[in-house]
Amino acid sequence: MRWGDMRRSENVEDRGGPSGRGGMPLGGGMKIGGGTLVVLIILSLVFGINPLQFLGMAGPETGAPPPPAPQTTAPGSPAPGAPAPADARKDFSARVVGDTEDVWNALFKAMGIDRYPPTTLTLYRGAVRSGCGTASSAAGPFYCPADQRVYLDTAFFDELSRRFGAPGDFAQAYVIAHEVGHHVQNVTGTMQKFERDAQRLDGRARNALSIRLELQADCYAGVWGHFAQRRNLLEPGDLEEGLRAAAAVGDDTIMKRTQGYVVPDAMNHGSAEQRMRWFRAGLKSGDPRTCDTFGVAQP
């Protein structure tokens, strides 16, 4: 991917630092807002994560391994003299975010919406406090509708490569574009409708609905990829990287807070086949209207 040619977004905040997982206490502290169904969409990267921990309601987990040491596979493999990997990652992320801003700005204009309100990407290491509670790196990348931010532990890029066998810069960009897709759902009202509808459903039906939400974000990531491709920002092998990543995270996890407890059956996000298919649909069309995962009988 020729990400060096993409515009760097200002909307990236680095809360990194060498804090590791001990950087922020995870126990207690968080109050669950009453009544409102808050939906956290995350890509689950570590199987066996304790959802309570993600919500900041349990003590630090002991079962999961610590996050990998930083700075192993920075995007773009900076040459000697290039910025340190942490900076390279921030630069990479900022350029991908910037490119999604350009694409969604144009798409919103085409849809007659005045302006695309950009999301902010928060990079962190170890743990982070978000508008949706405290998250540990084990939670994986997620979008918080309450503060309209995307959260990404930079160690995730290593995870994607090492643990999920989906290396490559476009694989990383796909994940960012997927989370930006959730932001698009949020600012267009899809997420609010989803939350309203989901509240009325039982666990199984709610789960099926959440899969549609996830697959639409995959499709939106594909829509971004379509325009990246059209502007010759992709290189041979990039699309395969993206598809591999879409398949690799087929087990991603959604977590919901409903009056202070986690709905455990809301943890299925569609199969690898579904995720690749919808990513491909957006990639092919470049048109968000083809991402109507809620309108089809079987997504």
How far apart CA 257 and CA 32 sit, in angstroms, is 8
* Tokens coding 244: 């591999």
Interacting span for Zn ion (CB under 5 A) from 13-21, 33-41, 49-57, 95-103 = 33-41
User: Which residue lies nearer to Zn ion by CB, 221 or 228?
Assistant: 221
Q: How far is the CB of 207 from Zn ion (least distance, A)?
A: 14
Write the single-letter amino acid at 158. D
* Least CB distance to Zn ion at residue 52 (A): 20
CA distance 16 to 23: 10
**Between 187 and 226, how does the x/- string for binding to Zn ion read (CB under 5 A)?**
---------------------------x--x---------
41 part of the interface to Zn ion, by CB under 5 A: yes
Smallest separation, CB 141 to Zn ion (Å): 8
Which of 41/55 has CB closer to Zn ion? Answer: 41
CB of residue 185 to Zn ion, shortest distance in Å:
9
Range in contact with Zn ion (rule: CB under 5 A) among 25-33, 36-44, 127-135, 224-232: 36-44
Pairing state between β 254-258 and 127-130:
unpaired
Burial of 257 (0-12, 13-18, 19+ CB in 10 A): buried
Q: Does 262 bind Zn ion (CB under 5 A)?
A: no
d(CA 15, CA 10): 14
With contacts defined by CB under 5 A, how many residues of the chain interact with Zn ion?
Answer: 3
Please give the torsion angle defined by the CA atoms of residues 44, 132, 169 and 124, in that order, rounded to the nearest 10 degrees: -110
In the complex, least distance from residue 254 CB atom to Zn ion, rounded to whole angstroms: 7
| CA separation for the pair 249, 142 (Å, rounded) | 13
Cβ 214 to Zn ion, closest distance in Å? 5
d(CA 22, CA 67): 11
Do the beta carbons of residue 141 and residue 151 sit within 8 Å?
yes
HSE, CB side, 13 Å, CA atoms: give it for residue 62. Answer: 1
Task: Choose the stretch contacting Zn ion; rule: CB under 5 A; options: 10-18, 35-43, 114-122, 183-191.
Answer: 35-43
Residue 155: exposure state from Cβ atoms within 10 A (0-12, 13-18, ≥19): buried
Confirm or reject binding of residue 132 to Zn ion (CB under 5 A): no
Closest-by-Cβ residue to Zn ion is 41
Residue 277 near residue 287 (C-beta atoms within 8 A)? no
Shortest distance (Å) from residue 55 CB to Zn ion: 17
- Residue span 103-122 as binding mask against Zn ion, x where in contact by CB under 5 A, dash where not: --------------------
Q: Are 92 and 85 in contact (CB under 8 A)?
A: no
Q: Cβ closer to Zn ion: 177 or 217?
A: 217
Residues engaged in binding Zn ion (CB under 5 A): 41, 214, 217
